[in-house]
Amino acid sequence: MRHFTHLKDFTIDELDKIIDEAVRLKKAPASKRSSLTGRSLAFCFMNPSLRTQVSFSVATASLGGHPVTLSLGSGGTWGMESVEGTVMDGAAAEHLKEAVPVLGRMCQGLGLRSFPAGKSWAEDKAEPALAAFIKYSTVPVINMESASGHPCQALADLMTIRERMKPKGRNFLLSWAPHIKALPMAVPNSAVEIASMAGMNVTIARPEGYDLDAEVMARVKKNCAANGTKLTITDDAAGAFEGQHVVYGKSWGSLAEYGKPPSADPLFRKKWTISSAKMKKTANGIFMHCLPVRRNLVVDDSVLDSPMSVVIDEAENRLHTAKAVLLHLLASQPKRATAAARRHRK
């Protein structure tokens, strides 16, 4: 049984095959409409979602399956504990040690969107909820975003790039942008990792103190070395845009001051906000963002509303790549009988 939880568990050839399937499904959405007939999937959310929740729900239904969406800890679902051996005298009423196997008895696949607490990177990086899902699940698990990665978003990102250019040898810029919160590093981690896997030259523009996780960067360096491409890290907020083919704007928090929001100084914000003046330095580059995006803070209206922006196409591709991931994990697996049915057969 294989999960879809981290990009590092896949080769670029495997990821390209999933994207190839997503491209086929985008062109012929009804071609595999009954592939998941008789299968149910539980999508568990620990934080708000729009594109991820809708894309996986619609993808499952359009392939003939039944999506079950759960907001863990709210909306009628118990709060969940992930730490083994803990005395459960707090807010959590149920342990994932029971909840995950129960969901696995009722559903043929599970998805989890978790969220870092933002107090300790070491604790968040361990991804206790996702680790518990992987440990206790008897069915495939999909990481719909965790503290360290968002592989589903990364698939849609690469698909969007592939629709406009051949990635290999092209220039990819991840540009840090201002925000009012210390956001997770999941999306930027996955964005640069998949770009490096696809053979792109990678530039990361960020203020001092906003470097990405060392383990992620080690993989990015290794990918670039294997592909003969360049990796550049800079604090030049404007100069980094020169000659770029893809600009990915994203906010993330500082590891040096983990959990602390970035400066609200207007000059600092203006320096790092993505503007038309910066985009004019690119090689007719496209602008990407995972959404939601704070207009005129992360990126100016003049960029987001221009032909340079592909954020809506990028969001739509979340649906097609979600279908492809589900087919990759589930379509070839035999339907499992329930425990009661297995006992009856005996």
Judge if 45 and 66 occupy the same domain.
yes
Judge if 243 and 130 occupy the same domain.
no
Judge if 141 and 173 occupy the same domain.
no
Percent of all residues in the chain with a pLDDT value above 90, rounded to a whole number:
86
Mean pLDDT rounded to a whole number for the chain: 94
**Predicted confidence (pLDDT) per residue in 169-207, tens digit:** 999 999 999 999 999 999 999 999 999 999 999 999 999
Whether 155 is in a domain gets the answer: no
Query: For the range 52-56, what are the long-range contacts, defined as Cβ-Cβ under 8 Å and sequence gap of 24 or more?
Result: 52/113, 52/144, 52/145, 52/152, 52/318, 53/113, 54/319, 55/318, 55/319, 55/322, 56/111, 56/142, 56/144, 56/322, 56/326
Which residues does 25 contact at the CB level (< 8 Å), separation at least 6?
31, 32, 320, 323, 324
Structural domain of residue 60, as residue ranges? 7-149+318-345
Judge if 104 and 12 occupy the same domain.
yes
Check residue 336 and give its pLDDT. 58
Judge if 24 and 69 occupy the same domain.
yes
Judge if 144 and 216 occupy the same domain.
no
- Split at pLDDT 50, 70, 90, the class of 340 is very low
Q: What's the count of helices (H) and strands (E) in the chain, helices before strands?
A: 13, 11
Check residue 77 and give its pLDDT. 82
Whether 160 is in a domain gets the answer: no
Mean pLDDT of 47-74: 95
Judge if 75 and 186 occupy the same domain.
no
Judge if 190 and 300 occupy the same domain.
yes
**Predicted confidence (pLDDT) per residue in 202-233, tens digit:** 999 999 999 999 999 999 999 999 999 999 99
- Alpha-carbon distance 104 to 101, whole Å? 5
Cα angle 132, 114, 141 (rounded to 5 degrees) comes to 50
Judge if 118 and 179 occupy the same domain.
no
- Alpha-carbon distance 255 to 251, whole Å? 13
Q: Buried (b) or exposed (e) across 251-267, using 16+ Cβ within 10 A?
A: bbbbeeeeeeebeeeee
Whether 2 is in a domain gets the answer: no
Which residues does 245 contact at the CB level (< 8 Å), separation at least 6?
165, 170, 171, 172, 282, 283, 284, 285, 286
Report the CATH number at residue 120: 3.40.50.1370
The DSSP secondary structure of 274-337, one letter per residue, reads B-HHHHTTSSS-EEE--S---BTTTB-HHHHTSTTB-HHHHHHHHHHHHHHHHIIIIITSPPPP
Q: Which residue has the higher pLDDT, 193 or 92?
A: 193
Domain count for the chain, please give it.
Answer: 2
Mean pLDDT of 308-328: 98
Quote the tokens at residue 305.
Answer: 């509303």
Check residue 338 and give its pLDDT. 46
The answer, yes or no, to whether residue 341 has pLDDT greater than 50, is no
Judge if 215 and 328 occupy the same domain.
no
- Split at pLDDT 50, 70, 90, the class of 115 is confident
- Split at pLDDT 50, 70, 90, the class of 93 is confident
* Whether 279 contacts 319, CB under 8 Å: no
* Whether 65 contacts 326, CB under 8 Å: yes
